[in-house]
Amino acid sequence: MRFYSDIRGLVAASLLWIAFAQGVSATTVEPAKDLRVDPALCLAAALARDDDKTIAACGALIDNAKTEKADRIKALIARGAAYERKDMADRAIADYDGVLRLDPSLADIHNARGELWRKKGDLPKAVADFAAAIKLNPNHVAARTNHRALALELERLGALKAVAGKPSFNCATARRKVEKAICANPELADLDREIEGSYVRAAAEKMTPQQARKLRREQAEYIARRNAEYGRPGYDLKKAMRDRLQQINGIDGY
Same domain, yes or no, for 117 and 183?
A: no
pLDDT recorded at residue 35: 57
Among 133, 161, 189, residue at a domain's last position: 161
| Cα(220)–Cα(222) distance, integer angstroms | 5
Same domain, yes or no, for 204 and 140?
A: no
The pLDDT-based confidence of 22 (bands split at 50, 70, 90) is very low
pTM comes to 0.54
Q: Is 38 helix (H, G, I), strand (E, B) or coil?
A: coil
Q: How many domains does the chain have?
A: 2
Q: What are phi and psi of 153, to 5 degrees?
A: -65, -45
Mean pLDDT of 98-103: 96
The pLDDT-based confidence of 52 (bands split at 50, 70, 90) is very high
pLDDT in tens, 176-198: 999 999 999 999 999 998 898 88
Same domain, yes or no, for 76 and 143?
A: yes
Q: Within a domain: residue 24? A: no
| Cα(246)–Cα(13) distance, integer angstroms | 104
Among 114, 134, 161, residue at a domain's last position: 161
Mean pLDDT of 20-42: 54
Domain of 84 in residue numbering reads as 39-161
Q: Within a domain: residue 50? A: yes
Q: Within a domain: residue 15? A: no
Distances (CA, A) of 49 to 91, 135, 195: 17, 30, 49
| Cα(43)–Cα(106) distance, integer angstroms | 19
